[in-house]
Structures are given as structure tokens and as C-alpha cells.
Amino acid sequence: MKLPYRILLVLMSAAMILSLPFVLSSPDLLDSTKTELMNEGDEDEGEEIDFGRLIFPSALADDLEVVTAEAGQLMPHPEWALPLDFSVPPMPNPAGYTETGYTDDTINVQLETREMSGTTVHVARVQISDPSQLRTAIAGDKVTKDKTSHVITMATYNHAVIAMNGDYYSQVPEKKLFEFRMTQKRKAKTNKIKDTLIIDRNGDFHLFVRSAGLADYAKAHSDRIVNAFMFGPALVIDGQVQKCDTEYSYAPNYKNPRSAIGQTGPLSYIMVVVEGRGEDAGVTHQELAEIMGELGCLQAYNLDGGNTSELMLLEGYKEGSPKARYHFKGDQNADERPQSDIIYFATAVPESLWN
């Protein structure tokens, strides 16, 4: 081979070698490599690969924004998720109490009292980090039994941060035909005269007016139902305040003490007790719907009211003397009423991790 050709070949080879870093750093090839690595990871649960450090220089990877939780939401802690049964959650940390509520890494509760619709309204705004912290408790050991107890007894036994009455399912049980508590079924029949609230495994509310669509939902999502109530009426659906039926049960047109629960966003809720039968007259169903709409509910549901209506923030667990730090009653002239069930929110922070 002639010398000029040899020199030309050497120069071409050198040029190819020098160009290799630029070829290998092509974004398209890196994307392809990343895709292959991700696909391999789907087939084999090996060590997790940090693509930030694989692709970017170390200094840039350290500057990447870490997404933790949506604005206004708490950081998820799936490792602390509570079992969806009647087991007792951790106690609230005594250091978590504030003048107006309670807060820790998994729950934030803020209480306020307002004058709305000409009456006193007690409001608890609750944000949780995991759906399992929205819970129910019953007076007996089985949801199929009709035992009763006081709200404060059920709440303190279950280490509730905040609790309210449920729908008193054991009273007039022939009318409450679709009832679940912590995935346990009491009854699962439709009722064309009652509205139903279902709370699913995501902590989301689903409302069914006069049972419309309830049977189909229950068949398709039976494994998603955690709690269900047949009392009502539905007050707010998909952000729209409902026009309440004046022929509905539970004295819809009379001003009475009332209880209601609503969802305002992902893992964000409102518990409400309206005073009545004292200095305050109470509210009608329609007035309660307007209140829940004004408070920002996307979904809202009426629970048992009258002398069943109670809302309380609990404390004193560590000291061995749990009690109500704040206790709001709907009926100002009645004693506490034994009932079958409560709705409550719990912390998920293990007691071993208290600061």
C-alpha cells in the first residue's frame, strides 16, 4: 500500500476514535439506553437505578427538584398505613396538640366555630397522609350486632384524634340497608328512598341518590368499599349544592341539630356539627347543604343529627386519662346518647417515633 494511503487511513481511524465520545453522548442513544434499563427493571426486581445520576453529572443531579406532595397535602408515608379493620391505631403524640387542633407528620386537624345560617356551626378541617387514617368504629365486636356505646367511649378506645357520630345504623335497621364498616359488611341492599355514601380505599366519597347506580357500583367495586352509610340526604355532589327533597326522612324542613361530613379534596375532609334546640334553632337539610357548599365541599353527606350529633377532639392518651379536649354537641338540651358507631381520624405515626 502506498504511503499516502496509509497516512490517510491512519488519520481517518484517529478521527473516528476521537468522535466516539460525541456519538455515545447522543441524547437519542441515552434515551434508548434508559428505556432498555427500565424495561429490564420490569422483568427483574433488582437494585433500583438512579437515572438522575446515570445521565447527569453529579452536581446537576443534586440540584434536581424532588417532588414530595401536592400543595396543601401531607407527605405520604405508605410504610405507616393502618390496617383496614377494627384494630386500634397509634396514640396521638401529646406534643402534637395546638390551641385549635392537632398536627403531626400524617394528620392536621384545625377546629373553628362560625355563625352560619343564623346558628352556631362547629367545623373540623382534617388533612391526612393515607386513606387508612379515615376510619370507623363500632360499639360491639361485630358490625352485625346492635350494641351501643357513647361516642367518647368508642373514640378514646380507638385512639381517635378527632371523632364524630355516624349514622346510628342499629336504630331502625330495616331502613339502613347498605352499611359497611372497615370493609365488614352489615347489609348490602339498595333502598330507593335513601341516599348512600360510600368511602373507598382511596378515601374518596361516592354519593348515590335514591340508590341510583349503587348496585352496579357495588358489583364492580365490591373490593374497594371500606365504609358505607345509608342515611342522607346527599348535600353536595361534585361541587354542586343539592336541592334537598322536602319529603326526605329525618325532618328535612325543620330546624334541628345536624351532623355532616364532606370531602374537600384528596385526603381532605370537613366534619360539621350544627347546634340546635337551645339558643340556636338548628338548620334544615337545605340550609345544611348550603353550609357544606360554602365550606368548600366537593361531596357532602348528612349523618344522624338531633341528640346523636357530637364532634370531639381527644387528648390525654399517654397520661392514661383520655378525654375530650373540645366537645361539641348538636342538641344543647340533651345528655350524650349511646349509639352504634362513630367516624374518626387517627394518626399513623408509630409511637416509637415520637420526638
**Which tens digits make up the pLDDT trace of 163-214?**
999 999 999 887 789 999 999 999 999 989 999 999 999 999 999 999 999 9
Q: Between residues 65 and 306, which one has the greater pLDDT?
A: 306
Residues 52 and 102 placed together within one structural domain of the fold:
no
What pLDDT score was predicted for residue 6?
52
Euclidean distance between CA atoms 263 and 55, whole angstroms = 42
- What does pLDDT average to over the chain? 85
Residue percentage of the chain with pLDDT more than 90: 76
Examine the domain organization and report whether 145 and 219 are in the same domain.
yes
Indicate if 230 and 153 belong to the same structural domain. Answer: yes
Q: Are residues 158 and 207 in the same domain?
A: yes
Q: What does the alpha-carbon distance between residue 221 and residue 217 come to, in Å, rounded to a whole number?
A: 6
- 95 neighbors 355 (Cβ within 8 angstroms): yes
Q: Which position has the grid cell 356505646?
A: 149
Domain span at 39:
3-62
Mean per-residue pLDDT, 27-37: 38
The tally of domains found in the chain comes to: 2
Please tell me the predicted confidence (pLDDT) of residue 35. 37
Examine the domain organization and report whether 145 and 15 are in the same domain: no
Tell me, what's the pLDDT at 284? Answer: 98
**Whole-Å CA distances, 46 to 35, 38, 49, 50, 79:** 16, 11, 9, 12, 20
> Which pLDDT band holds residue 355 (cuts at 50, 70, 90)?
confident
Phi then psi dihedrals of residue 228, to 5 deg: -145, 140
For residue 75, is it within any domain? no
Q: Choose the final residue of a domain: 45, 62, 79.
A: 62
Helical H runs in 63-150? Answer: none
In 3D, which of 313, 297, 132 has the Cα closest to residue 227?
Answer: 132
Q: 85-134: per-residue pLDDT in tens?
A: 999 999 999 999 999 999 999 999 999 999 999 999 999 999 999 999 99
Instruction: Say which residue the cell 394518626 belongs to.
Output: 347
Indicate if the pLDDT at residue 64 is higher than 50: no
Residue 73 lies inside a defined structural domain of this protein: no
**The pLDDT value given to residue 55:** 32
| pLDDT per position as a tens digit, 236-293 | 999 999 999 999 999 999 999 999 999 999 999 999 999 999 889 999 999 999 999 9
Give bridge partners of residue 225 from the DSSP assignment. Answer: 200
Whether residue 98 sits in one domain with residue 168 = yes
Percent of all residues in the chain with a pLDDT value above 70, rounded to a whole number: 80
Residues 107 and 58 in one domain: no
Confidence label for 59 from pLDDT (cuts 50, 70 and 90): very low
Distance CA 158, CA 128 (A): 17
- Strand residue runs (E) in the chain: 97-98, 101-103, 107-116, 119-128, 134-138, 162-165, 178-181, 184-188, 195-200, 205-208, 225-231, 234-237, 240-241, 258-265, 268-274, 299-303, 310-315, 323-329, 341-345
Contacts of 55 (CB under 8 A, 6+ apart): 30, 34
Is 294 found in the same domain as 250?
Answer: yes
Residue carrying the nine cell digits 379515615: 134
| pTM for the full predicted model | 0.80
Phi-psi region of 194 (alpha: psi -120 to 50; beta: other; left: phi over 0): beta
Q: Provide the pLDDT for residue 66.
A: 38
- The model's confidence at residue 152, banded by pLDDT at 50, 70 and 90, is very high
In a domain, 125, yes or no: yes
pLDDT of residue 109: 99
Domain match, 56 and 99 both: no
pLDDT tens column, 191-203? 899 999 999 999 9
Residue 81 placed within a domain: no
Is 56 in the same domain as 110?
no
Asked whether residue 248 is domain-assigned, the answer is yes
Report residue 81's pLDDT band, with 50, 70 and 90 as the boundaries. very high
Lowest mean pLDDT among 71-80, 299-308, 325-334, 342-351: 71-80
Q: Is 114 in the same domain as 236?
A: yes
Cell numbers placing 314: 381527644
82 inside domain: no
Asked if residue 168 is part of any domain, the answer here is yes
Same-domain status, 49 and 134? no
Let me know if residue 67 belongs to a domain.
Answer: no
* Whole-number Å distance between alpha carbons of 355 and 352: 9
User: Omega before 233 cis (within 30°)?
Assistant: yes
